[in-house]
Structure 1
Amino acid sequence: MINLLSYLSSVPWWGYLILILVLVFLRDILQKKHTIVHNFPVVGHIRYLLESIGPELRQYIVANNREELPFNRRQRTWMYASSKKENHYQGFGTDQDIHESGYIFIKPAMMPLPFDHHADLGKPCPSAKIIGPHRGKPYRPTSLINISAMSYGSLSANAITALNEGAKMFGCYHNTGEGGISPYHKKGADVCFHFGTGYFGVRDREGNFSLEKMVETVNQNPWIRMIEVKLSQGAKPGKGGVLPGSKITKELAEIRGVHVGEDVISPSFHSAFSTVPEMVDFIETIAKATGLPVGIKAAIGKMEMWEELAELMKKTGYGPDFITVDGGEGGTGAAPPSFADHVALPWVYGFSQVYKTFQKYGLTNKVTFIGSGKLGLPDSAIMAFAMGVDLIHVAREAMISIGCIQAQVCHTNRCPTGIATNNKWLEAGLDPALKSVRFANYMKNLTKEIMEITHACGYEHPCQFNMDDIDISMGDNNHTAPLRLAYGYQKDEVERVKS
């Protein structure tokens, strides 16, 4: 044994390297699982290495500032700088192709609205509408920009904590996502309780909706200010989901009302209703039992049932207090590429169709419209307000503000920034005390720029924008057209609540 150890200690380092390479070579040529590795032993592994780090290489080296999706480098840089209170200005003019199809042009006024340059333009701008004014507990959001539905389990405890604490600092509300209300949603911000087909947090033992649990949840959590029923989401409309039993910890089981270690299936449809009249009755039942405004969230496709809903609301006076339109571009939820890429309309098309339908029945001032889908940048937000949105939800933008690097591995539990994972080692790198401040800073800067553009266009409040205030490039001979002509309607004037 001593002689063997003495011999091994005398072998140079490159000898061990050669031995390792020989062993890898033999393993590669004997295995049949990977053709490239078998045909090109040892060096074939380089191909898989490059493939695994391809997104990072393209993100930081290959792609230009305006090329990458979902958010390009220029957009992410603005969000990062805004959250860190760094200089997010741009010098030497725009680097965008302002003649490309779909480019947004915001029209400033000849005489901008005077405002105090020393005023705190980053403070929240309240909603122009009260949500559910006829309900027992109507709600007027203190901020036009709020956190979209992202559940605990989808995001880590530290991420949810950072967002909720940041929301409290800034003054916006926090949507729970469909995973139920967790201890991390209870850090002081107003909350929108959201549930989907799984009825997590408000379900009985058989997985059906429980009104008793809904009322109990609202009574125990006075910071819940409104309730959102998810019909579908942009990432995977019409498709349910499976939460593997391996991810169901004791804490998650208690929050969601499920069993530890058992797979949890979210159906693609609601068991509590299956028709528009039944959905309206369901909404009214919850609203009467809780006193809270109740709304719906959906990605948009066929319009027949939306037409039926608007007609029924006009006839009866009942229905959702708010409607959240989610873009078919996808969001934080993981989905098959066929769904994320092709199912449901992009936000601008989906929202315009819904708005026109409710406008036809004279309901646009009876409903609060919420937009969700890459609207967390000043130009996109202004366009959304001009089209008829009253509030905006941000999801991926909120994640970027607390450190997301767009690694696009949210569905693997390997999020490198500790945001979309329940891996305790990765999650430990996210400090809620620091990241909550960064989220609040992002919200302040986003609101500040929205308000500065609003004043530059001669308005006091973003809800005053209309479809003629925005031109978009049509792509043909570099001509532009106002949104009114591009989408075939003019937004109704909003009946604002007096401050």
Structure 2
Amino acid sequence: MDPILHFFMNHFWWIVPLVLIVSVAIKDIFFNRAHTIKHNFPVVGHLRYLLEKIGPEMRQYIVANNREELPFNRSQRSWIYASSKRENNYQGFGTDQDQNAAGHIFINPAMFPFNLKAGHPNIEDPAFVPCAKVIGLANKRKKPFRPYSIVNISAMSYGSLSSKAVESMNKGALKAGCYHNTGEGGLAPYHSFGADVVFQVGTGYFGVRDELGNFSMEKMEALVKKNPFVKAIEFKLSQGAKPGKGGVLPAAKITPEVAEIRQVAMGKDVISPACHSAFSNVPEMMDFIEMVADRTGLPVGIKSAVGKLEMWEELADLMAERGTGPDFITIDGGEGGTGAAPPAFADHVSLPFSYAFSKIYKVFAERGLSDRIVFIASGKLGFPAKALTAFAMGADIINVAREAMMSIGCIQAQVCHTNRCPAGVATQNKWLAAGVDVTLKSERCYNYIKTLRKELLEITHACGYEHPCQMTMRDVDLSMGDNNMTIKLRDSYKYDKVKVNFNGMQEIKDCPYLGGPARKQEKQELAEVK
């Protein structure tokens, strides 16, 4: 055998790595002009970029403590994961929260909790808690709707999320009895497993658009008629993560199916306009809402982030004058966001939920309109204390988005915009999405929503109430920080919540407009069709 070949074969284990290292070094020194670190420190400079890439994951699991991480800290994520898996979600040895930190929430319990007597609906189902209001009843819509659950799945589009993620959420929502908001990406087959659906329409009018990209009333009517599980329509004016910018779906996430559902072309980013073309001011929007509600028979609402109040005041004044208007208003806090957004928008544009909601609620309450509107709250509210604070401020329903994503496996990798979601939730990569077991994940989504509702009720009962809608601005205190004092929500936000007309959980259970599991006949017909 040739001596050189013999030497190479005997020392293969170190020669090949050496050749690779030398090749990388030569490339870095002589050909790399884009990265100074790699040029000046060949080979080892690559470690810097590797550490930068995996830095968030390293900090998430090793460096950060239980309470300091954003957008969701480890304690919050752990509670969601444990709840979704029906594991022990308790904590031992007291709280690790700094209860003197500014903004810490204190819920005030009653001396005597609410007493569940024999025959009460919550004896049979400790997580039974529908909305206290009926959507569309005040405006006399043809098909009013009372959501079966006060906790529902917020707007997340198929395309942004994988088909298996959407299917898991829809099947989990069906079991939990909550509604599932489609997001602005249109109604997909994966929204169609029987759960109540709120069909969201954004500025791109996906699924209900004509050849020019404008809103098509004919397609809207056809969609509603074909899909009786669609219970309400929501027009998105803006969203918390990027108000003033339309949604963006990168070309890498557009599959032939996504393109067909959205009625868009393959191979290029889909960017929704910043503004609606169907209306351009408040009076036109009100006329448009009435037209859609009349033609479809469904309740119609709007979703928006909050900044300037002038147009909100105009809307409230016109509603008081005309006796018409949106059936529900979804307030999206600036801390929200499930997809991609420019950092400047995500960080600085629009108010966080607590400031946004309090300002808008006051506008409508001052004009005597709070009983005509179902207020839906969104923005990191998928935890018992935060959700009850929202109810105390006047919310009737909360929507959860990222919390629902975590219940089906999201690990907060924060790469939703890259199509490389490692959990298979926010990606169209078939290999990654294949890791989502729909049977398992839908059960976990159901467990999370049920657990959240159950704990919401338990704290509500501890406060002496039967339903979260009875919580008031005087039932929650906020810590003021260094002075070790607290202040009631009423004194912080300068208003009192208007009392909701609530006559007991049994009356709600018997309501003819109740959605969710109450729709037995409709669900049976849907199953027969499938």
TM-score using structure 2 length:
0.92
Q: Give CA deviations for 1:415-443 in whole Å, capped at 9, x if unaligned.
A: 00000000000000010100000000001
Question: Equivalent residues in 2 for 1:47-446 (5 A)?
Answer: 47-115=48-116, 119=123, 121-133=125-137, 134-446=140-452
Q: Does the 8 Å contact 1:121/1:447 carry over to 2?
A: no
Q: 1:421 is paired with a residue of what secondary structure?
A: coil
Partner of 1:462: 468
Q: Give CA deviations for 1:400-424 in whole Å, capped at 9, x if unaligned.
A: 1111110000000000000000000
Q: Does the 8 Å contact 2:8/2:15 carry over to 1?
A: no
Q: Does the 8 Å contact 1:113/1:455 carry over to 2?
A: yes
Q: 2:414 is paired with a residue of what secondary structure?
A: coil
1:9 aligns with 2:9: yes
Identity rate of aligned residues, in percent? 64
Deviation at 1:16, TM superposition (A): 1.9
Distance in structure 2 (CA, Å) of the matches to 1:352 and 1:41:
56
Distance in structure 1 (CA, Å) of the matches to 2:96 and 2:269:
49
Q: 1:22 is paired with a residue of what secondary structure?
A: helix
Q: 2:289 is paired with a residue of what secondary structure?
A: helix
Distance in structure 1 (CA, Å) of the matches to 2:250 and 2:61:
33
Deviation at 1:14, TM superposition (A): 1.6
Deviation at 1:252, TM superposition (A): 1.2
Q: 2:325 is paired with a residue of what secondary structure?
A: coil
Distance in structure 2 (CA, Å) of the matches to 1:328 and 1:161:
27
Q: Give CA deviations for 1:216-270 in whole Å, capped at 9, x if unaligned.
A: 1000100000000000001100012443445432211221122333543311111
Compared with structure 1, are the counterparts of its residues 4 and 119 closer, same or farther at alpha carbon in structure 2 (3 Å cutoff)?
farther
Q: 2:372 is paired with a residue of what secondary structure?
A: coil
Distance in structure 2 (CA, Å) of the matches to 1:12 and 1:257:
56
Distance in structure 2 (CA, Å) of the matches to 1:285 and 1:27:
65
Q: 2:123 is paired with a residue of what secondary structure?
A: coil
Task: Flag structure 2 segments of 5+ consecutive residues without an equivalent.
Answer: 509-530
Distance in structure 2 (CA, Å) of the matches to 1:375 and 1:72:
14
Amino acid at match of 1:91: G
Amino acid at match of 2:446: A
Distance in structure 1 (CA, Å) of the matches to 2:182 and 2:22:
54
Compared with structure 1, are the counterparts of its residues 382 and 157 closer, same or farther at alpha carbon in structure 2 (3 Å cutoff)?
same
How big is the alpha-carbon RMSD for the aligned residues of Structure 1 and Structure 2? 1.5
Deviation at 1:47, TM superposition (A): 0.7
Q: Does the 8 Å contact 2:253/2:427 carry over to 1?
A: no
Task: Flag structure 1 segments of 5+ consecutive residues without an equivalent.
Answer: none
Amino acid at match of 2:196: D
Amino acid at match of 1:74: S
Q: Does the 8 Å contact 2:336/2:378 carry over to 1?
A: no
Q: 1:365 is paired with a residue of what secondary structure?
A: helix
Deviation at 1:24, TM superposition (A): 1.1
Q: Does the 8 Å contact 1:123/1:170 carry over to 2?
A: no
Q: Give CA deviations for 1:60-87 in whole Å, capped at 9, x if unaligned.
A: 0000000101110001100000000000
Distance in structure 2 (CA, Å) of the matches to 1:18 and 1:262:
42
Q: Does the 8 Å contact 1:470/1:483 carry over to 2?
A: yes
Q: 1:53 is paired with a residue of what secondary structure?
A: helix
Amino acid at match of 2:178: C
Partner of 1:471: 477
> How many pairs are equivalent?
499
Structure 1 segments (4+ residues) deviating >4 Å: 1-7
Deviation at 1:4, TM superposition (A): 6.9
Distance in structure 1 (CA, Å) of the matches to 2:126 and 2:157:
27
Partner of 1:45: 46
Q: Give CA deviations for 1:24-61 in whole Å, capped at 9, x if unaligned.
A: 11111111110011111111111111100011111000
Deviation at 1:351, TM superposition (A): 0.2
Q: Does the 8 Å contact 2:252/2:419 carry over to 1?
A: no
Q: Does the 8 Å contact 2:203/2:275 carry over to 1?
A: yes
Distance in structure 2 (CA, Å) of the matches to 1:236 and 1:370:
19
Deviation at 1:365, TM superposition (A): 0.5
